[in-house]
Every structure is written in structure tokens, then in C-alpha cells.
């Protein structure tokens, strides 16, 4: 690089310094998003390491792939908050940053009363205030307490046989990470440099409630949201006859031939153009909705003899909205995701390289600088690898960190 | 501290359905001025009941026919004095009506242009018709929730997921772009894929697959690494209790709360490993014991013993919950209960600005008169011609 070469584009948040405290998937993911967008994130771990380092799946050498997904790109430092000078050190670190993201427990152990603390986002199960704080909880339990699980199993034909059901995978925690990132970006702007900065109270339970747009709208409209039993008068499929789930010989597809012209083309795909002549079976959208269960049975007789990729391809040619129900392996190999360089290759110390999702958007500045996607990135190292950065940050306070409080340096 | 951190930012909002409107509702709650471009001839705008009113707070509404050259000229004028454009058109519509990023940046070089589409604006599948419900299948999450069934019940189709989480990604990207613009004066183009937005939240499945392994248990029905763990039927109509035991301390709490079930005396009681190995049996014992118990009282007993547990609650109960009320998650405004416009709580109970959903075209005079400087006569003529409608 010569002196005329501009530095590479690090992202829109370049220059933002963030301190992450505590072990929580939402906090870690939110901080990682800020890091992906160019912020400098310092993650503090206890001397024994973040508990999420043990979370499955592990590579052959015992490194957590999930921990890597949540923490790649961050500077990792090890601080014993309970050790001599630990609390003071965390306060100094916080004072050097623009933003602190913390669990409630980590905040109490560290920077809560630090006067130079910047805007601080505190993440907890049920919030910092309110008569129901501190209930023993977990991600799974929060999905039931917030109403998400109840409404995700509503309406159903037989409530007795269909328990409330939570989100897939770590979705509840990951959505929490998105809210952490949003609240953090709001807080840093709203605080405008004030010290001590405002404490922003973010509860897992609240944010799941916030996602329940339709159940709240139904409640607001005076509908009975306590009864999960399906009203047969409203059609027999979940989306009122607009979307069908069809098992195939090797998986399943979802198809949505909504308009009459789409339905006619879909019948051609299935080899049953004659169906369109049967007005009582599928004359129009209203009739198809009323007959949704019967039509599903008829279509499934055909689809179970087909491979899902063949069904999807034929539907695509006929301009009918139809997609496979993907397996995780399908997603890793998906041509659209690959073409958009959605997966980064994250390389571990033992040489293992795993595809991991990048940010789900391309970000290009007005002058044409584009945030990188789909490249190779190192997995996070050991706690304490960020010791140099810690030194740099703390140089501003006029002294070296106390070694008794800092590990890995 | 100024909670209205986006004051001075004007957003032209072409979005419809759910993801875009939820995004601009959040931006409006942070103080941005949202100009929602609508059309009284399209039912998705003219029918404003149900969900529409929950996700369209904090906006100004104007009605404009963007298919006419006059309408497109007015949009270009509006963009000239704005900072952000949010859209979820098809690629064809964008180009046809002169609303693409390349066209609008000629008028406003530092515009932040945010496009949300099913597949993204590049790649071999960019033009495929993709509804949110189908994307939940394509992303794989439908196959990870509940039990497969022909009617798609309890498989994650409802309530909407892909749309709200797309809104969260979109808001993140816009806030980052605004910060960047404030620091550097540079605008940006954001091309967001709803498929990617959904897939990025499924790391456990993807990482296991990448290592050639299967996910041990579906997290939609149980907590991995906890035993017992699940959602169990209690006495009364449709009453369910979720509980999860992860540690020895929680196990001892469970044994105390269920003292008459003799869990402690069973062979699996000794260690967490033994309990995990006997998870099915343990869950069956808990299910049998809870079936005749009152959910509310056993929930209180379990929580008092330190066991993570909660009834599976519904929205009516959430809205009435004193905890939610004290946290200002819901409040009564003008005789109607409203949900907070932002999902976090700041000083003095601040939960985001709130203005009710506008009537369609409510702000035509402000947008076309005050902002664009058109005279009353000119506005009347444009309305007569069907451009403002």
C-alpha cells in the first residue's frame, strides 16, 4: 500500500468501540453484528472462558463452531472481575468505549457504577424492573412465557394433541441479538457521548412479545386469542388455502398457486389439467380454500411419487411459487446463497473450515466500496488473544493493566 | 440524552405487507419522519384493519400514482429532500417506474437506498416469486418446528417470522448506514435477502450439517442438554407448562416441588448425564404428574424452588400482566391499548414515540404542499388528474 491508497472499507460502523460483558447468545450475536459492520468489539471472558465455548457442535479438536459463529471478528480478553483490580479494570475499559453490551449479571459484577461508563445495554430474562423480574428462566421457557409458543401452535385442529411449540434452532436468541444491535445503535446516537451513559433495559421476554404482531392485532380487534382451536369455517389449511405443504418421495415442497391462472398452470404441472374443469372442486380461490384439505390429499398422491427438486423445477418453469422445504445440507449447497457469497469460510486453528452465514445483505457505499462477503475468516482464538488491543485501549488511562486481573497476556 | 435520535432524518417508504412497514415503524419510533407512499386504489393500503394498524404507527401518509410520469416526478422531488428510501418492489417495477437506486442517486447522490426482496437483487433466483410463508419452508425452519402435517399446523407458519426478522435486519442495516452518513456524508445501497435473513438465524442446524452431523434434538419442543425439558399438559382446558432442568440445583428444586413423585429415588437421579440418558422416561413421569395439577400453582412452586418454568401464556394474559404493564410494554392511549413501538425500555419508561396509524392520504397537504411547495390549485389539479389519489 502506498500513501495514496485509501484504507480498505471496514464497514459503516468503523471507529465505534464496543465492550461486551457476560455470556449470552443474544449479547454475543448482537455484538458480532456490530463487529461485522465495522465496529471494534472487545469481548471480556472470565479466566475459565465463556461457557458458550463448550456449546455443540465441536470441531474434531474440541472448538465450538457455535462460539465461532457468535464471536468471530472480536478481540477477546480475559478478565477476572472478582480478582484484585478486576472491577476497576472493567470500568477503565468501559470508559474507553462508546458502548457497553452486558448481561445483567456481568453488569453487576463490573461496570454498573462506573462514572465514565458510556451508553450501556443490559440484557436479561425479564428486564431490570417490574414485579416479575428474576424468575428462573431459559431461552426455551421465555418462548412459552412470552406467548410465542402458544401462538405458534394456533390455530390447530386438535389443541389437546398439539402442544405449544417454540422457535427453530436458536432463533429466539438470535432474534434477540438483532434487537441488541438495533438498541445499541439507537443508544449510542441517543446518548451522544454522555457519561455515565443511559442504561437501556432489554428483556428477552419483551422482545419475543414484540414479535407477536398478528396475535396482538387479533387481541386488539376483540378476537378470542385464548382459544387455539381452528374455526372450520375459515378453511382447513393454515394459510386459508393459499399455501400447501406437499410431501414428496424425498422431502417436501410448499406451493402457493393463489390466482386462477397460477392454479391452472399448477394443474398442468401435476398432469391434471382436467381438475380446472371441476368448478365444485377448485373453481376459484374461495372454493379452493373451502376444499383445501381435499385438494391437499389429491395433490399429495401425486407429489409423493415425485422428487422435490423435480416438482420445484417444473413449478418454476410454469411460473408457480413453489420451494422445497430445505434441509440444512441443502442450504449449504443452495445455488442462490452460493451465488450471493452468503457463506463465509471460517477457519479454525486445527485447519477445519466451516461455512457460516455472513450478514444477509450486500452493503455498498455511494462511492462503490462494498462490504466483503463469502471470504475466508479466522475463527476466534483463545480468551486473551486480544491482549494487545487491551493494552492500547488502556494506554489512554495512563497505566498498564493489573496483571492479577488480566489473563492471556 | 435525546431518545428521538433519528430526528431530522426523512424516510420515503414504498414498502408494503409487513417487513418494510415494521422497519419504518421502528425508525419512526426513534424520531425519523416517515413518508409512506400509498395508493387509495390498492386494497393493501385502503384496508387498514388488523395487523396494518400495529405496524404503521409513526408515519405520514400520502397517496400517489407512481405509474404516471407526473407521479414519478413528484417522487423524485421528494427523494431530493430525503435521506432514506425503503422499498420491496419487484425488480421489474423498480426499473419501470424510474425508482431504482441508480436512478434515484442521480437526484440525491447520498441517498441510503434499502431494498428488501425474497432472494436478494442478484443471483440466479432473484426474480422468483417468493411469499414469506414459502420462504419459511425454503429457509428450512418449517422442517425444524413441531411435527410435519398436511395442514401446516404448529410448524412455524403463523405468526409470521420471516417478515418480522427481516424488519430487524433491515433496521440494523439502516441505523448503521445513517451513522455512516452522519460521519462521512456517504450514502449507501443495501440489498437485503429475506431468505438469507431467515437462514442466518439457524446456526445450530447449519453448523451440525457442515460437520456432517445431525442436530441431537429439535429445540422447538425441548431444550437440548436439559432433562426433564418440554411443554406439559396440566389440569383444565388447554393449560400447558414448560419446564427445563439444566443443573443439579434445578434438579433438586424439581424434586422438592414434585416431592410425592419420588424422582429422587429413581436410578437416573444421581447425575445430569444419567438424567439426560433417561430424558424420555423422565419427561413421561413429569407429564403424568403434571396432568392433574393446576398449572398456575405448580408454576409458582417450581419458580420458588429455582426451576425454570412457565405456563404457556397467550396474548390476553400478556397484555394484562402487571409485569408487562409496569414495564410499559403496553399502555392505554386514547382509549385503546397499544403495544410499545420499540422492544426495549429506556429512562423514564421511554419505549419509542407513538403516533396512531395515519388515515390514507392524511398528510397529502403536508407532503405535496409544505414539503414539495405545490400550490393548492396545483394539488387539486393533480388530484383531478389521478396523480394524487
Residue B141 and residue B37 share a domain = yes
**B27 and B114 housed in the same domain:** yes
User: Which has the higher per-residue pLDDT, A240 or A296?
Assistant: A296
Residues B161, B35 share a domain: yes
Kindly state whether residue B2 falls inside one of the protein's structural domains. Answer: no
Examine the domain organization and report whether B142 and B274 are in the same domain: no
* Nearest-neighbour CA in chain B from A141: distance (Å): 6
Residue B216 in domain: no
B331 located within any domain: no
Q: Are B116 and B16 a contacting pair, CB within 8 Å?
A: no
Which of B285, B312, B339 terminates a domain? The answer is B312
Domain boundary among B253, B279, B312: B312
- Residue B323 distance to chain A (closest CA, Å): 5
ipTM of the complex: 0.98
Q: The CATH number of the domain where B254 resides is what?
A: 3.30.1540.10
Contacts of B172 in chain A (CB under 8 A): 33, 37, 178, 181-182, 185
Say which range, A397-406, B161-170, B258-267, has the weakest mean pLDDT: A397-406
Lowest mean pLDDT among A36-40, A200-204, A226-230, A383-387: A383-387
pLDDT at B228: 98
Residue B144 has pLDDT above 90, yes or no: yes
- Cβ A214–B158 below 8 Å, yes or no? yes
**Record: contact A243-B134, CB cut-off 8 A:** yes
Average pLDDT over chain B reads: 95
Q: Which fold has domain A17-211+379-407?
A: Rossmann fold (3.40.50)
Q: Could B208 and A362 be called an inter-chain contact, meaning their C-beta atoms sit closer than 8 Å? A: no
Do B23 and B169 lie in a common domain?
yes
Q: Is A23 on the interface with B (CB under 8 A)?
A: no
- Residue A396: pLDDT band with limits 50, 70, 90: low
The reported pLDDT for the residue numbered B323 is: 98
How far B76 CA sits from the closest chain A CA (Å)? Answer: 18
- Same domain as B264, residue B158: no
Q: Which residues in A343-374 are b (16+ Cβ under 10 Å) and which e?
A: bbebbbeeebebbbbbbbbbbbbbeebebebb
CA-based max dimension of chain B: 87
Q: Is position B72 within any domain?
A: yes
In a domain, B259, yes or no: yes
Mean pLDDT of B189-212: 98
Average pLDDT over residues B46-56: 85
pLDDT band, very low/low/confident/very high, at B151 (cuts 50, 70, 90): confident
pLDDT at A21 over 60: yes
Per-residue pLDDT band at A171 (split at 50, 70, 90): very high
Residue B165's domain is classified under what CATH number? Answer: 3.40.50.10540
Binary contact (A336, B244; C-beta < 8 A): no
Q: Where in chain A is the domain with CATH 3.30.1540.10?
A: 234-325
Do B301 and B365 have their domain in common? no
* Rounded CA separation B373/B376 (Å): 9
Test mutation, B53, B119, B236, B315, chain A, max A CBs within 10 A? B315
pLDDT band for position A108 (cuts 50, 70, 90): confident
Number of domains in chain B: 2
Are the beta carbons of A331 and B209 separated by less than 8 Å?
Answer: yes
pLDDT band at A132 (very low <50, low <70, confident <90, very high): very high
pLDDT at B367 > cutoff 70: yes
pLDDT tens digits for B216-247?
999 999 999 999 999 999 999 999 999 999 99
The tens digit of pLDDT for each residue in B308-353 reads 999 999 999 999 999 999 999 999 999 999 999 999 999 999 999 9
- In this complex, the residue of B137, B197, B219 whose CB is nearest that of residue A166 is B219
B326 lies in some domain: no
Kindly state the percentage of chain A with pLDDT values over 90. Answer: 78
Residue B131 to residue A15, Cβ atoms within 8 A: no
A298 touching B, CB under 8 A?
A: no
| B336 → chain A, closest CA residue | A220
Within a domain: B243? yes
Lowest mean pLDDT among A371-375, A385-389, B186-190, B376-380: A385-389
Q: How many CB pairs under 8 A join A and B?
A: 509
Report the pLDDT averaged over residues A161-186. Answer: 98
In chain A, where does the domain assigned CATH 3.40.50.10540 lie? 17-211+379-407
**Domain residue limits at B287:** 229-312
pLDDT at A234 over 70: no
Tell me the mean pLDDT in the region A221-235.
85
Q: Which of B250, B285, B312 is at the close of a domain?
A: B312
Q: What is the pLDDT of residues A48-91, one digit of tens each?
A: 999 999 999 999 999 999 999 999 999 999 999 888 888 889 99
Q: Give yes or no: residues B255 and B187 share one domain.
A: no
* Mean pLDDT across chain A: 91
CATH architecture for the domain at A234-325: 2-Layer Sandwich (3.30)
Residue A398's pLDDT is: 56
- Measured in whole angstroms, the distance separating CA A108 from the mean position of its chain's CA atoms is 26
**Residue range B204-224: mean pLDDT, rounded:** 97
Q: Looking at the predicted structure, is the pLDDT value of residue A402 above 60?
A: no
Report which of residues B151 and B364 the model is more confident about.
B364
CB contact under 8 A, A236 and B151: yes
pLDDT exceeds cutoff 50 at B122: yes
User: Are residues B269 and B361 both part of a single domain?
Assistant: no
The pLDDT value given to residue B389: 87
| Lowest pLDDT segment from A290-304, B106-120, B169-183, B203-217 | A290-304
Q: Which residues of A touch B227 (CB under 8 A)?
A: none
Sole residue written with cell 393459499: A242
Q: In terms of domains, do B71 and B182 share one?
A: yes
pLDDT confidence of residue A390? 73
Pair B46, B16: CB distance under 8 Å: no
Where does the pLDDT of residue A407 fall: very low under 50, low under 70, confident under 90, or very high at 90 and above?
A: very low
Q: Are residues B43 and B122 in the same domain?
A: yes
Which three-class secondary structure string do you get for chain A?
CCCCCCCCCCCCCCCCEEEEECCCHHHHHHHHHHHHCCCEEEEEECCCCCHHHHCCCECCCCCEHHHHHHHCCCEEEEECCCCCCHHHHHHHHHHCCCEEEEEHHHHHHCCCCCCCCCEEEEEECCCCCCCCCCCCCCHHHHHHHCCHHHHHCCCECCHHHCCCCCCCCCHHHHHHHHHHHHHHHHHHHHHCCCCCCCEEEEEHHHHHHHCCHHHHHHHHCCCCCCCCECCHHHCCCCCCCCCEEEEECCEEEEECCCCHHHHHHHHHHCCCHHHHHCHHHHCCHHHHHHCHHHHHHHHHHHHCCCCHHHHHHHHHHCCCCEEECCCHHHHHHCHHHHHCCCEEEEECCCCCEEEEECCCEEEEECCCCECCCCCEEECCCCCCCCHHHHHHHHHCCCCCCCHHHEECC
Check whether residue B189 and residue B249 sit in a common domain: no
Please indicate whether, in this complex, the C-beta atoms of B203 and A316 are within 8 angstroms of each other: no
Residue B84 has pLDDT above 60, yes or no: yes
Residue B41 confidence class, pLDDT cut points 50, 70, 90: confident
Q: Residue range A329-358: average pLDDT?
A: 97
Q: Which of A10-14, A257-261, A365-369 has the lowest mean pLDDT?
A: A257-261
* B43 within a domain of the structure (yes/no): yes
Of residues B349, B218, B117, B100, the one with CA closest to residue A340: B117
Across residues A267-289, what is the average pLDDT? Answer: 92
Amino acid at each position: 500500500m502506498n500513501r495514496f491508497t485509501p484504507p480498505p472499507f471496514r464497514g459503516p460502523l468503523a471507529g465505534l468501540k464496543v465492550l461486551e460483558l457476560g455470556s449470552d447468545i443474544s449479547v454475543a450475536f448482537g455484538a458480532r453484528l456490530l463487529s461485522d459492520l465495522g465496529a471494534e468489539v472487545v469481548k471480556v471472558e472470565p479466566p475459565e472462558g465463556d461457557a458458550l465455548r463448550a456449546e455443540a457442535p465441536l470441531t474434531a479438536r474440541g472448538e465450538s463452531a457455535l462460539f465461532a459463529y457468535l464471536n468471530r471478528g472480536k478481540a477477546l480478553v480475559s478478565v477476572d472481575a472478582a480478582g484484585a483490580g478486576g472491577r476497576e479494570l472493567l470500568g477503565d475499559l468501559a470508559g474507553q468505549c462508546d458502548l457497553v453490551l452486558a448481561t445483567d449479571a456481568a453488569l453487576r459484577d463490573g461496570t454498573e457504577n462506573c462514572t465514565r461508563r458510556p451508553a450501556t445495554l443490559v440484557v436479561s430474562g425479564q428486564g431490570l424492573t417490574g414485579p416479575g423480574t428474576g424468575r428462573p428462566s431459559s431461552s426455551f421457557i421465555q418462548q412459552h412465557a412470552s406467548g410465542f409458543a402458544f401462538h405458534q401452535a394456533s390455530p390447530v385442529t386438535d389443541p389437546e394433541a398439539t402442544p405449544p411449540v417454540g422457535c427453530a434452532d436458536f432463533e429466539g436468541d438470535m432474534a434477540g441479538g438483532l434487537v441488541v444491535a438495533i438498541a445499541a445503535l439507537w443508544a449510542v446516537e441517543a446518548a451522544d457521548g454522555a457519561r455515565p451513559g443511559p442504561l437501556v433495559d432489554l428483556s428477552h421476554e419483551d422482545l419475543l412479545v414484540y414479535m407477536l404482531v398478528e396475535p396482538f392485532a387479533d387481541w386488539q380487534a376483540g378476537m378470542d386469542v385464548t382459544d387455539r382451536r381452528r374455526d372450520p369455517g375459515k378453511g382447513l389449511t393454515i394459510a386459508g388455502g393459499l399455501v400447501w405443504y406437499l410431501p414428496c418421495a424425498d422431502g417436501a415442497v410448499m406451493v402457493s398457486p393463489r390466482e386462477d391462472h397460477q392454479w391452472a398452470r399448477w394443474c398442468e404441472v401435476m398432469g391434471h389439467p382436467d381438475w380446472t374443469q371441476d368448478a365444485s372442486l377448485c373453481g376459484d380461490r374461495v372454493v379452493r380454500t373451502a376444499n383445501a384439505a381435499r385438494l391437499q390429499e389429491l395433490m399429495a398422491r401425486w407429489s409423493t411419487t415425485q422428487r422435490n427438486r423435480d416438482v420445484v423445477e417444473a413449478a418454476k418453469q410454469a411460473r408457480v411459487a413453489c420451494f422445497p422445504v430445505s434441509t440444512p445440507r441443502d442450504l449449504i449447497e443452495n445455488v442462490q446463497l452460493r451465488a450471493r457469497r452468503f457463506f463465509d469460510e471460517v477457519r479454525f486453528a486445527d485447519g477445519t473450515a466451516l461455512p457460516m452465514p455472513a450478514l444477509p445483505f450486500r452493503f455498498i457505499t455511494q462511492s462503490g466500496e462494498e462490504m466483503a462477503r463469502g471470504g475466508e475468516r479466522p475463527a476466534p482464538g483463545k480468551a486473551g488473544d486480544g491482549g494487545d488491543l487491551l493494552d492500547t485501549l488502556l494506554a489512554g488511562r495512563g497505566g498498564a493493566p493489573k496483571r492479577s486481573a488480566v489473563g492471556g497476556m | 440524552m435525546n431518545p428521538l435520535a433519528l430526528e431530522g432524518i426523512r424516510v420515503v417508504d414504498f414498502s408494503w405487507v409487513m417487513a418494510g412497514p415494521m422497519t419504518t415503524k421502528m425508525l419512526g419510533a426513534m424520531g425519523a419522519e416517515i413518508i409512506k407512499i400509498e395508493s387509495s386504489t390498492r386494497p393493501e393500503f385502503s384496508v387498514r384493519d388488523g395487523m396494518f394498524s400495529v405496524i404503521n404507527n409513526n408515519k405520514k401518509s400520502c397517496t400517489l400514482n407512481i405509474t404516471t410520469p407526473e407521479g414519478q416526478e413528484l417522487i423524485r422531488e421528494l427523494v431530493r429532500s430525503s435521506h432514506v428510501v425503503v422499498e420491496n418492489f419487484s425488480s421489474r417495477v423498480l426499473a419501470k417506474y424510474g425508482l431504482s437506486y441508480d436512478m434515484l442517486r442521480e437526484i440525491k447522490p447520498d441517498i441510503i437506498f434499502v431494498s428488501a426482496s425474497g432472494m436478494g437483487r442478484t443471483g440466479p433466483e432473484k426474480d422468483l416469486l417468493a411469499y414469506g410463508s414459502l420462504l419459511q419452508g425454503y429457509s428450512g425452519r418449517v422442517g425444524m418446528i413441531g411435527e410435519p402435517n398436511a395442514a401446516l399446523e404448529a410448524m412455524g407458519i403463523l405468526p409470521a417470522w420471516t417478515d418480522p426478522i427481516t424488519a430487524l435486519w433491515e433496521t440494523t442495516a439502516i441505523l448503521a448506514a445513517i451513522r455512516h452518513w452522519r460521519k462521512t456524508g456517504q450514502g449507501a445501497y443495501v440489498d437485503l435477502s429475506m431468505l438469507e435473513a431467515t437462514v442466518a438465524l439457524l446456526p445450530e442446524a447449519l453448523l451440525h450439517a457442515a460437520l456432517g452431523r445431525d442436530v441431537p434434538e429439535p429445540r422447538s419442543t425441548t431444550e437440548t442438554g436439559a432433562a426433564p425439558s418440554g411443554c406439559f399438559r396440566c389440569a383444565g382446558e388447554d393449560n400447558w407448562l414448560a419446564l427445563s432442568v439444566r443443573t443439579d440445583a434445578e434438579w433438586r428444586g424439581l424434586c422438592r416441588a414434585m416431592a410425592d413423585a419420588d424422582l429422587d429415588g429413581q436410578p437416573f437421579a444421581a447425575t445430569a448425564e444419567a438424567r439426560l440418558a433417561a430424558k424420555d422416561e423422565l419427561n413421561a413421569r413429569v407429564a403424568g404428574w403434571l396432568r392433574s395439577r393446576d398449572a398456575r400453582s405448580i408454576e409458582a412452586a417450581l419458580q420458588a424452588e429455582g426451576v425454570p418454568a412457565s405456563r404457556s401464556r397467550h396474548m390476553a394474559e400478556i397484555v394484562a400482566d402487571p409485569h408487562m404493564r409496569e414495564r410499559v410494554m403496553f399502555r392505554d392511549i386514547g382509549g385503546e391499548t397499544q403495544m410499545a413501538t420499540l422492544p426495549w425500555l429506556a429512562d423514564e419508561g421511554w419505549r419509542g414515540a407513538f403516533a396512531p396509524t395515519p388515515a390514507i392520504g392524511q398528510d397529502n397537504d403536508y407532503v405535496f404542499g409544505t414539503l414539495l411547495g405545490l400550490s393548492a390549485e396545483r394539488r387539486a389539479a393533480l388530484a383531478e388528474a389521478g396523480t394524487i389519489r
